[in-house]
Chains A and B, each alone.
Chain A
Amino acid sequence: MLHSLLSELPRFFGPYNLLFLAQAIGVTIALTIVGCGIGYNFGFALALLRVQRIIDIPPLRWSAIGFVELVRRLPFLVLLFLVMFGFQAGGYTLTGMAVACITIILRAAAIASETVRAGLESVHPNQWDAAATMNLSRLDQLRHVVLPQAWRVILPPAMIQFIQLLKATSIASQISVIELTYAGKIMNQKGFSATLSYGTVLILYYVLCLAVERVVRRMEKRLVLPQHH
Chain B
Amino acid sequence: MSFLSITEIDASYGAVPVLRGVSLQVARGQVVGLIGPSGSGKSSVLRAITGLLRLTAGEVALDGSAVDYANPASLRALRDRVAIVFQQYNLFQNMTALANVTLAPILAKRRDHREVEAEAMALLEKVGLADHMRHYPRELSGGQQQRVAMARALALKPELLLLDEVTSALDPELVNEVLDTIGLLAADGMTMLIVSHEMAFIREVADQVVFMDEGRVVETGPPQHVLDHPCSERAQRFAAKILRRQWRPKTP
What is the interface of chain A, defined by CB distance below 8 A to chain B? 126-127, 129-137, 140, 144-145, 148-149, 227, 229
CA separation between A134 and B76, bound complex, in Å? 9
Contact with A along B83-120 (1 / 0, CB 8 A): 11010101111101000000110011100000000000
Any A CB within 8 A of the CB of B237: no
Report the Cα distance A148→B93, complex, angstroms: 9
Q: A135-B76, A136-B107 are in contact. Are A129 and B90 (CB under 8 A)?
A: yes
Cβ contact within 8 Å between B90 and A130? yes
- Name B86's contact: one of A126, A136, A149, A229 (CB within 8 Å): A126
What residues on B are CB-neighbors of A134 within 8 Å?
Answer: 79, 83, 103-104, 108, 152, 156
* Pair B94/A227 contact, Cβ less than 8 Å: yes
Residues of chain A with a CB closer than 8 A to B88's CB = 126
- Residue numbers in B under 8 Å from A148 (CB-CB): 94
Known interface pairs A135-B76, A135-B79, A135-B80; A129-B107 also in contact (CB < 8 Å): no
Q: Which among A129, A136, A149, A227 is the interface contact of B104 at CB below 8 angstroms?
A: A136
Q: How far is the CA of A186 from the CA of B74 in the complex (A)?
A: 68
What are the residues of chain B within 8 A of A229 when measuring CB–CB? 96, 134, 136
Known: A133-B50, A134-B156, A229-B134. A127 touches B90 (CB 8 A): yes
List, sorted by A's number, 5 A–B pairs whose CB atoms are closer than 8 Å: A129-B52, A131-B92, A133-B50, A137-B107, A149-B94
The count of residues in chain B whose C-beta lies closer than 8 Å to any C-beta of chain A is: 25
Residues of A within 8 A of B96 (CB): 229
List of B residues within 8 angstroms of A137 by Cβ? 107-108
Residue of A132, A135, A229 ringed by the most chain B CB atoms within 10 A: A135
A136 to B94, CA, bound (A): 16
CB distance from A124 to the nearest CB of B (A): 8
Give the residues in chain B near A136, CB-CB below 8 Å. Answer: 103-104, 107-108
Q: How far is the CB of B53 from chain A (nearest CB, A)?
A: 10
Residues of A contacting B94 in the complex (Cβ-Cβ under 8 angstroms)? 145, 148-149, 227
Q: How far is the CA of A202 from the CA of B136 in the complex (A)?
A: 46
> In the bound complex, how far is the Cα of B136 from the Cα of A112, in angstroms?
30
Q: Which residue of A lies closest to B79 (CB)?
A: A135
Distance, CA A136 to CA B112, complexed state (A): 16
Pairs of residues from A and B, 5 with the lowest C-beta to C-beta distance, nearest first? A134-B104, A130-B90, A135-B108, A148-B94, A126-B90
- Nearest chain A CB to B20's CB is how many angstroms away? 23
Determine if A135 and B104 form an interchain contact, defined as CB atoms under 8 angstroms apart.
yes
**Which single residue of chain A is at the shortest CB-CB distance from B52?**
A129
Pairwise interchain contact A133-B84, C-beta atoms closer than 8 A: yes
Residue of B nearest to A152 (CB): B94
The residue among B107, B108, B136 with the most chain A CB atoms within 10 A of its own CB is B107
Set of chain A residues within 8 Å of B51, measured between Cβ atoms: 132-133
Most chain B beta carbons < 10 A, residue from A134, A137, A148, A149: A134
Of chain A, the residue at the smallest CB distance from B50 is A133
Give the nearest-CB partner of A226 in chain B: B94
> Are B103 and A144 neighbours in the complex by a CB distance under 8 Å?
yes
Chain A residues contacting B76 (CB-CB under 8 Å) are: 135
Residues of chain B from 71 to 85 with CB closer than 8 A to chain A in the complex: 76, 79-80, 83-84
Is there contact, CB below 8 Å, between A129 and B108? no
In the bound complex, what is the Cα–Cα distance between A135 and B91 (angstroms)?
Answer: 15
Is there contact, CB below 8 Å, between B79 and A133? yes
Mark B54-71 against chain A: 1 for CB-CB distance below 8 A, else 0: 000000000000000000
